[in-house]
Structure 1
Amino acid sequence: MRKLFCIPVLLLVGLHVSAQKKPLTHAVYDGWQSINERYISNDGKWVVYTVTPQEGDATLVIQSTDNTYRKEIPRGYGAAITEDSRFVICKIRPLFSATREAKIKKKKPDEMPNDSLAIIETGTDSVLRIPRVKSFKTPEKGAGQWMAYLREKELPVPPAVATPDSLSQLNGLLRMADSLTRLADSLRNKASEAKTKGLTALQPVKKESKPKAGDRVDEGTELVLRNLYTGEEKKFALASDYYFSKPGNTLIIETTRSNADTLMKATVLWYSIINGKADTVFRGFNEAKNYVLDDAGTQLAFIAERDSSAKALQKFYKLYHYRTGMDSARLRVHRNTAGITKGLTISETQAPEFSANGKKLYFSLMAIRKPKDTTLVDFETARLDIWHYKDDYLQPQQLVQLNTELQRSYRAVLNGDDDKVIKLGGEDAEMVYLADEGNSDYVMAATTKGNRIEFQWLGYTRYNVYLVSTIDGARKQVKDKIRTPIIFSPKGKYVLWYDAAQKNYFTYAVAGGAITNITKSIKVPLYEEDDDHPDDPPAHGIMKWHEDDKYVYLYDKYDVWQCDPGGKTAPLNVTNGRPHKVVYRYMPTNKEEKFIADTQKLVFKRLNMVNKYGGLSIYDMKDRRFVADTADGPFKIGFGIVKAKNSDQFVYTRESFDVSPVLMMAQIKNTDVSDNSGGAMMPVLVQTQLHATNPQQKEYNWLTCELVKWTMFDGKRSEGLLYKPENFDPKKKYPVIFYFYEKYSDELYAYRPPAPSASTVNFPYFASNGYLIFVPDIYYKKGEPGESAYNAVVSAAKFMAKKPWVDSTKMAIQGQSWGGYQVAYLITRTNMFAAAEAGAPVANMTSAYGGIRWGTGLNRQFQYERSQSRIGYTLWQRPDLYIKNSPLFNADKVNTPLMIMHNDADGAVPWYQGIEYFTALRRLGKKVWMLQYNGEDHNLVERRNRKDLSIRLGQYFDHFLKGAPAPRWLAEGLPATSKGIDWGVEVEEKKAF
């Protein structure tokens, strides 16, 4: 009996082992999916989205919102749904493997695999595929009948090589004999002529010259205009560019010259979709660009240059305008036109813009710059940068912004058919903002001129703001030295700004010039209440304006306030989330939305600050109330909600820490909520799941997450996120990695995919492999960034060390950038961690303070005084604080093994900061390593490097927290002679140190 009893027990044990989920490995990253493109048809019946692996071939999905139809287009992307919801058009990438193979073989761009085009009628299985397509376009607001696509260049046809038969060979020999006979006769004749004409008779006859290489152009290709309903196509040769008007009544086509026919000139064609007629509106130019059509599709403006040679060092562009009924495009503006200041010309980099009513044409002017002197020899001329204390910007910032400054342009306008240029912008008004879609007689202009130097220590620039007349260019001052945000209302009736010092919003009325504090009666803070920087706290922000500038909607920490910009009516709390600690934030559903309309339904994303639950609410502007909600739940609503144009259907993503993003649709439906049916009808937000990503996740030991609260050393309560393995066993002891930056607890239900690391530990990978990850919130005090981190992180570590399932001897810390600094500091203050990893840490605040962020060219002083470092004083006011908070000055106290990653092209934290810390610790005999990825910035960009870092992070923490053997790079290092040959990631069991 006893033996019989053991058999089923053994069977059960075997079943349990086989059912155990496997841990994540680095090999899973490439196949992990995300949902990228998301569209919904205007009628709400179809959704289009892409499911994209981290590396490999994506899939475009066309799906009905009732889940009865689904069509997959392998490698589809860049989709468009036609206005009538009848067709989906997309491009199709080549196979990832084919592109990879072509890169390995170093094929030229013309030899690389090309995209194709796919046209799908919704609800059907038929797919029209068209190979070798560069691009396609559809009218933005057309009926959906037409589209156009531009083909790639035709592939060269290889010459046919035929195998000759005996007769062909004989005929070839006879032809060769005839050719030799004619050549001999020609030579005899020339010799005879030479007796009378001299040796000149023997010179070869000159052939017609071919076009010079410099005169050749990059020829356009075939453009196809296709009727989606009938399949009829019209083709245009040598097309290089094309544009539909918004309503789809006009197609503009640019064609190039032909290299084979020198008489053929470049042209701009106006093709009428309505009557099928093509007119040439411009001909014979070197370059034309920046085409723009008015909203009605009856006017065209563009920039062109037709007078210079291709190699000219200086070219002057002109503005041309065409209106239906004209014979050709008319020259409207050149550098000598009335109203243009001497030294300015038409900007080639900025596109013109019509006002919505088509009565104004805006364009840009730029400075005429002295061309480079080509007579100077480069190796004989000095190369230097001159720093001057009066410069608006430091030289490094000037160099970073060089291309922007070379293309700096200033707005101007033409009114109707008047050819006088009205200059709106300038060196003292570099930013110009239109109102009423350009119809207004005023624009808002702003400048930072005179206020730029102080950015070095303030971290922001103050603006002088004006109103400028589009009729005569007259200026009216609004206010000086305003800190952003500054907003021009959509209709142009008000200028709005937030005064950080007074902690209120103010408006300037364009009619009359009155300045009004519109939020003084709001009793709750409109600024970030928990902000801990030594600076005026920033505002929570502006949601949107109401149509006709009737109201402006502003945020506090939780709610939305409806405010009268004229200050006549009291502000109104629209959402009332504060009593429940629920944050409401508006989610625009239309990328073209300019204001909130009276009849609009608004979508708000909710976040419960107590339990971090998420949800959606629908607010009806017509009834001025919430009409439908989802229940709060343990999930996070993703960014970006798309609404169907003609129905109340919304597409969005929802996720949780253990649920990969799911594509959802929500629809407002009137539902009978009475007990006996047929009674009261109430709008209900009905949700439908459309697609769930990463079904393979169920095969792996995943993670769980919970919100943890504890008391810090200073007595203040804090929150943090604790990640555990899905198979967590409270009877075991686990190693812990503490990861931190500032605050993350609101991200409790965020999904974190397994992915190669750009700079930080990947939570799913480490949790799946038997680690706990704890992410504490950090609260800062002025002048004490290091001790603030100690207060939060070490108190959290001591709190966690008391848990019976935590191995307090196997705890580590990891952080990147600001988190890297805090890691570097903490190991000077405690020895309780078994290992640490710091990415791009600042080690010496005294040397970093006056340095440059090379990515932007900005000086770092503002960052230390007022921003993230939170010192609050200059270096010469409180040098003690800079030294106290610098890990370098206490490097001798470090006993924790430290791995640093600091890359040699880091544009945020100077690379020498990592070097300073490494060399100090190395001299002191501490265990320290530094990974330096060549050519990489602050965070790793190249996927190959991210994969490499992921492997090394895993090996590093496995060694110090799990006792795993050290890989060779960790035990011995790698000499430069092995670079590119040996990566040293293999484990040598016997190596120890």
Structure 2
Amino acid sequence: MKHLKHSLSILFFFLLPLALLAQKTASDSQSKTTLTWPGIASWKAIPSSSSTKISPDGKWFAYLLARADEGDAELIVQSTADSIKKTFKLGATTSADMAFSDDGRFLAYKVSPTEKEKKAKKKDDNLVLISLADSTKSKEFTQVKSYAFNGKKSSHLAVLLAPEEGTKPTDPKGTNLLLYDLANQRTQNIGNVAEYAFNKPGTWLALTLDARNQAGNGLLIQNVTSGMMLPMDTDEASYEALKWTEEGDGLALVKGKKDKKYKEKMYSVLGVKNFAGTPALTTYDPKKDSLNFPENMTISPDRDPTWTDDLTRLLFGIRKTTLADTTKKKDNQDENPNGISETEQLARIKADTTLKTVEQMTKAIAKIKGDGKDKDKPEKPDMTIWNWQDKRLQSRQQVQESQDKKFSFLAMYDPAMQKFTQLADSILRLVSPAPKQRYALGTDIQPYELSTNLDGQDYADIYLTDLKTGERTRIMENFYLPNRNARPQPSPDGTKFLYWKEGSFMVFDMENKTSRNITENVPTSFVDTEDDHNVQKPPYDVMGWSSDSKYVLLSDGWDIWQVAAEDMPAVKSRKKSTPALPYRNLTQNGKRDKIRYQDRYQLDPDEKGIDLSQPLYVRTYGEWNKKSGVTRFDPKTNEAKILLWDDAAVRSLTKAKNADYFVYSSETFAKPTQYFGTLSKDLTNAHQISENAPDFKKYAWSAGARLVDYVSDKGDTLQGALFLPAGYEPGKKYPTVVYYYEKLSQTLHNFSNPSYGRTGWNPGMYTANGYAVFIPDIVYRYNDPGMSAVWCVLPGVKAAIATDIVDSSKMGIHGHSWGGYQTAFLITQTNMFKAAAAGAPLTDMISMYNLIYWNSGGANGSIFEASQGRLEAPWNNWEAYQRNSPIYHAKNVQTPLLMLHNDKDGAVDFTQGIEYFNALRRLKKPVALIQYKGENHGLAKLPNRKDYSVRMMEFFDHYLKGMPAPLWWSEGVPKLELDEHLEEKAFSH
């Protein structure tokens, strides 16, 4: 008994600090302000990692601080060596358009009109140039369209001004370009510039001119060092699609001229090279090649032309043309069929006192003049013909109409041989050159396109084209593509490609036309067995080719494997000094310790393949503990070392272009994303270089997150993320909203930036307002997508209740789209939730199968059979569709349901929401449907996002917190009173 008392005393003293800490956290939280939906408008934060930049010399870190959805933003420029920080106004924007000069001496950024200026109809952006030596404004340019520093040279800034106000789309594209000398601070003005581009070294500037009446149109190139400008081609034509080679030693573009015979311009392709000496122009004009160039076609302006890497051939697209209507107008009566003079028309309009607006006057003029149509020609119907043999649904063709019109076939011109070769055609439409442009791979989906669009299973025939001869060979037939990692992936040297076949990775040698299995002897499987979609043996991720094209890096879902792409004798003969291995596990402990070595950080954006002589940095994630970090594999020691490993979400990792300075981001659910910088390749001694969400400390926030382990009703080991409310006190139970969308427990450490979401949901706002939030994982069984949610969510919720954090009498559920479907279904199977909110839910799987996914124009059937639906065709198993459809179990619903479904939803047809609403209404179940006119699958308009965010929380507040029911829920809003109701609820920043 004495020992027991002693043990209890030790336990008491151990637990006391934790209890005191919890009390202090709760006390601190209670002393802070609760963030409300109107308060979000003043919240500033870094939108994403793309809103940050590190200077090439690693001395400066720039980031955007923008309001959540509206209001003016700021650009912060922080020294990475000390506390020097400058703040610059950016106007009303949520994205940062900024660039450092390559030498790190200057920063340029665009300034948008402020909210106030936008209301005054100001449209154009300004450009500010900052000298980073003293962080002061060096120069400002007004009414700017675009800008660019001149690459590595970093001596000039090109600024293209916006067209003058009132410019019509049909007017010439040319405007003023200002070439600003950064050293001498002098500006050269070049007029009528339509396009401009520096080469990568920054030694040459290419310009196309487009002037009124095409006077002086042409291609100019300017030597940036000497200032010498050379007119390479001038004509009464348009010059478009400038494209430098990667190394900046070749330039290509297209030139278009009007031709009365055709509706479109007829184009030729221009190429310039020999920039080290005297630049030389190459021209290929199809009009002068009637023997080889196909009739009624022209070069496409919609595909950028380019030189091959060796500057021996030009690659470009060609497309069909349309013959012009040569029917001549009979006489002036066609333009004025009623024979009424312009003077009479104006007199009639002036005398008509019923015309009050410009629109009415315009209609009156049109009526007097007549519609100008040929009265003898019958009017065409406006209709669509749907046919069972259409490879693509008519709706799909309508969505892709613009893309189809711009489609072009790849072609090639060899100046030395003066030879044109068409590489793609109506038989083989898709041809892509491999690196180095010695070979090209063609993909023909036409034999399988109809079946693919029916059942979602992707197949193709693969062709190999010799780009020297144009010879084409089919090398694979009926090639199966279970996911994107299975597609052919060429090596950096362009001589072979990696592909996936029946559970193995293969390498095809394009020189010898031979294939070999490179993973058959590797002691692991690369089949993604965790993928529960209806596809056969999908592969895990391909990390990429090595830069020497000898190896590929592959993932087995846990570890990263280096696998030889050639047979071992060939590898050994090339690399005698180092023993070659057919494969090796670079990370070793992934599968053993349940650590996933995920994405490789590409620290050099210009790399061509993975340099295996340099360290590899990889994002690392703990599958069951949810830790994350960065691991570095050192090729010198052959060791993988974890550099960062924390109970946090470690995300981006970048490196300064010209210096060993590294920047990474880290966040937790209770702390906003911050960026850290270090000179250490081991990422040690990092210090914080951002101040994200500066108002964060003013508000009560979540006390953190818990990981909940549980087992599904089918025996699957799963997890859920449980987020604690602000002011959390141990032992106290809280109202809880359960949210889900397949697997999301990996979001345990994700910070939820306050915003008006497209679905009304924001977990951070709910925890800030006193709710716990639980997000369980769902895994799926084939032919049971709805029941899978029951088997996974309910056990997860029970495990969350067992933590004594969740109040089982005050639980709600919410999901959107596929999550909306899970919500609509779950409430037919259980009454454990007091309220449910479903956004854009699928409710009748049978009718949904045969509806259109209007955003893409495709049928839903293929999504059901090979993607998210996880069902076979309905006529093979009607019972599965009924068993998993909310509509067939509507009579079981006892949970009040709030639905969001918009009339222009292009993913889940609006009729799905209407079906369920009417069924529940007929059964006298408590249900409301919120419909925002003209909105798609999510809410795009800010007023709508604000409105629904508030309504959904009001709904949950009523059922889970006992607050009064809002009238729009308890009584509804008559149509005649809706405007007044909306005005009362609207709010702004």
Query: Is the TM-score greater than 0.5?
Result: yes
| Aligned CA distance change for structure 1 residues 567 and 812 (closer, same or farther; 3 Å) | farther
Aligned to 2:194: 240
Moved more, 793-802 or 84-93: 793-802
**Letter matched to residue 354 of structure 1:** W
Q: Trace 1:929-944 onto structure 2 (pairs within 5 A).
A: 929-944=928-943
| Aligned CA distance change for structure 1 residues 898 and 335 (closer, same or farther; 3 Å) | farther
Mapped pair 1:63 → 2:78: yes
Q: Is the 8 A contact 2:282 2:415 kept in 1?
A: no
Aligned to 1:26: 37
Mapped pair 1:315 → 2:233: no
| Aligned CA distance change for structure 1 residues 460 and 648 (closer, same or farther; 3 Å) | farther
User: What secondary structure sits across from 2:151 in the alignment?
Assistant: coil
Aligned to 1:851: 851
Using the TM superposition, give the Cα deviation of residue 153 of structure 1 relative to its aligned residue in structure 2, in angstroms: 5.2
Aligned to 1:405: 404
Moved more, 335-344 or 842-851: 335-344
**Letter matched to residue 440 of structure 2:** V
The structure whose Rg is larger is: 1
| Aligned CA distance change for structure 1 residues 836 and 927 (closer, same or farther; 3 Å) | same
**Letter matched to residue 464 of structure 1:** D
Using the TM superposition, give the Cα deviation of residue 113 of structure 1 relative to its aligned residue in structure 2, in angstroms: 4.0
Q: Is the 8 A contact 1:760 1:815 kept in 2?
A: no
| Aligned CA distance change for structure 1 residues 216 and 736 (closer, same or farther; 3 Å) | closer
User: What secondary structure sits across from 2:533 in the alignment?
Assistant: coil
Aligned to 1:5: none
Q: Trace 1:683-698 onto structure 2 (pairs within 5 A).
A: 685-698=684-697
Aligned to 1:97: 116
Using the TM superposition, give the Cα deviation of residue 133 of structure 1 relative to its aligned residue in structure 2, in angstroms: 3.7
Aligned equivalent of 1:461, options 443, 450, 458: 458
Q: Trace 1:836-985 onto structure 2 (pairs within 5 A).
A: 836-871=836-871, 873-983=872-982
Q: Distance in 2 between matches of 1:131 and 1:379?
A: 56
Q: Distance in 1 between matches of 2:743 and 2:855?
A: 25
Measured against aligned partners, the alpha-carbon deviations of 1:772-792 in whole angstroms (never above 9, x if no partner) come to 111111122122222211112
RMSD over aligned Cα, in angstroms? 2.8
Q: Distance in 2 between matches of 1:524 and 1:29?
A: 49
Q: Distance in 1 between matches of 2:30 and 2:396?
A: 59
Aligned to 1:750: 750
**Letter matched to residue 350 of structure 1:** R
Q: Distance in 1 between matches of 2:848 and 2:969?
A: 29
Aligned equivalent of 2:131, options 97, 121, 127: 121
Q: Trace 1:466-477 onto structure 2 (pairs within 5 A).
A: 466-477=463-474
Aligned to 1:178: none
| Aligned CA distance change for structure 1 residues 550 and 249 (closer, same or farther; 3 Å) | same
Q: Distance in 2 between matches of 1:392 and 1:266?
A: 44
| Aligned CA distance change for structure 1 residues 860 and 250 (closer, same or farther; 3 Å) | same
Aligned to 1:450: 447
Q: Distance in 1 between matches of 2:562 and 2:852?
A: 42
Give the gaps of 5 or more residues in structure 2: 1-22, 328-372, 569-580
User: What secondary structure sits across from 1:404 in the alignment?
Assistant: helix
Measured against aligned partners, the alpha-carbon deviations of 1:951-988 in whole angstroms (never above 9, x if no partner) come to 0011111111122112221122223334444328769x
Aligned to 2:349: none
User: What secondary structure sits across from 1:882 in the alignment?
Assistant: helix
Q: Distance in 2 between matches of 1:717 and 1:219?
A: 61
User: What secondary structure sits across from 1:94 in the alignment?
Assistant: coil
Using the TM superposition, give the Cα deviation of residue 804 of structure 1 relative to its aligned residue in structure 2, in angstroms: 4.5
**Letter matched to residue 788 of structure 1:** S
Q: Trace 1:224-303 onto structure 2 (pairs within 5 A).
A: 224-258=178-212, 264-295=215-246, 297=248, 299-303=250-254
| Aligned CA distance change for structure 1 residues 785 and 300 (closer, same or farther; 3 Å) | closer
Using the TM superposition, give the Cα deviation of residue 537 of structure 1 relative to its aligned residue in structure 2, in angstroms: 4.2
Using the TM superposition, give the Cα deviation of residue 815 of structure 1 relative to its aligned residue in structure 2, in angstroms: 0.7
User: What secondary structure sits across from 1:939 in the alignment?
Assistant: coil
Give the gaps of 5 or more residues in structure 1: 1-11, 157-212, 670-682, 988-993
Q: Is the 8 A contact 1:456 1:858 kept in 2?
A: yes
Q: Is the 8 A contact 2:146 2:161 kept in 1?
A: no
Q: Distance in 2 between matches of 1:753 and 1:816?
A: 19
Aligned to 2:101: 82
Q: Distance in 2 between matches of 1:327 and 1:532?
A: 57
Q: Trace 1:707-746 onto structure 2 (pairs within 5 A).
A: 707-746=707-746
Q: Distance in 2 between matches of 1:648 and 1:238?
A: 42
Using the TM superposition, give the Cα deviation of residue 532 of structure 1 relative to its aligned residue in structure 2, in angstroms: 2.1
| Aligned CA distance change for structure 1 residues 841 and 684 (closer, same or farther; 3 Å) | closer
Count of equivalent residues = 886
Q: Distance in 2 between matches of 1:785 and 1:19?
A: 42
Aligned to 1:390: 389
Aligned to 1:207: none
| Aligned CA distance change for structure 1 residues 796 and 330 (closer, same or farther; 3 Å) | closer
| Aligned CA distance change for structure 1 residues 255 and 966 (closer, same or farther; 3 Å) | same
Aligned to 1:677: none
Q: Trace 1:287-686 onto structure 2 (pairs within 5 A).
A: 287-295=238-246, 297=248, 299-308=250-259, 313-323=263-273, 331-334=283-286, 337=289, 338-369=291-322, 380-436=379-435, 439-482=436-479, 483=481, 484-499=486-501, 502-568=502-568, 569-576=581-588, 577-585=590-598, 586-621=600-635, 623-626=637-640, 629-639=642-652, 641-668=653-680, 685-686=684-685
Q: Distance in 2 between matches of 1:249 and 1:925?
A: 75
Q: Distance in 2 between matches of 1:801 and 1:908?
A: 34
**Letter matched to residue 663 of structure 2:** V
Q: Distance in 2 between matches of 1:759 and 1:787?
A: 24
Measured against aligned partners, the alpha-carbon deviations of 1:564-614 in whole angstroms (never above 9, x if no partner) come to 112435221111222221111211123322201244332211111221111
Aligned to 2:833: 833
Measured against aligned partners, the alpha-carbon deviations of 1:5-53 in whole angstroms (never above 9, x if no partner) come to xxxxxxx99x969962222200232323125422223332222222222
Structure with larger RCO (C-alpha < 8 A, sep 6+): 2
Using the TM superposition, give the Cα deviation of residue 66 of structure 1 relative to its aligned residue in structure 2, in angstroms: 1.3
Measured against aligned partners, the alpha-carbon deviations of 1:515-565 in whole angstroms (never above 9, x if no partner) come to 111111223221223222233242111111111211011111111111111
Using the TM superposition, give the Cα deviation of residue 885 of structure 1 relative to its aligned residue in structure 2, in angstroms: 0.9
Q: Distance in 1 between matches of 2:169 and 2:822?
A: 61
Aligned to 2:66: 52
Measured against aligned partners, the alpha-carbon deviations of 1:830-855 in whole angstroms (never above 9, x if no partner) come to 22211111111111111111111011
Measured against aligned partners, the alpha-carbon deviations of 1:898-953 in whole angstroms (never above 9, x if no partner) come to 11111111111111111110111111111111011111111112222111110001
Q: Distance in 1 between matches of 2:646 and 2:150?
A: 38
Q: Distance in 1 between matches of 2:408 and 2:399?
A: 18
Q: Report the identity percentage.
A: 29
| Aligned CA distance change for structure 1 residues 800 and 444 (closer, same or farther; 3 Å) | closer
Q: Distance in 2 between matches of 1:791 and 1:553?
A: 37
Q: Distance in 2 between matches of 1:263 and 1:445?
A: 39
Q: Distance in 2 between matches of 1:214 and 1:933?
A: 34
Using the TM superposition, give the Cα deviation of residue 295 of structure 1 relative to its aligned residue in structure 2, in angstroms: 4.8
| Aligned CA distance change for structure 1 residues 980 and 485 (closer, same or farther; 3 Å) | farther
Moved more, 606-615 or 55-64: 55-64
Q: Distance in 1 between matches of 2:139 and 2:696?
A: 34
Aligned to 2:18: none
| Aligned CA distance change for structure 1 residues 667 and 426 (closer, same or farther; 3 Å) | farther
Q: Is the 8 A contact 1:967 1:984 kept in 2?
A: no
Measured against aligned partners, the alpha-carbon deviations of 1:200-241 in whole angstroms (never above 9, x if no partner) come to xxxxxxxxxxxxx99983463321112111212222123232
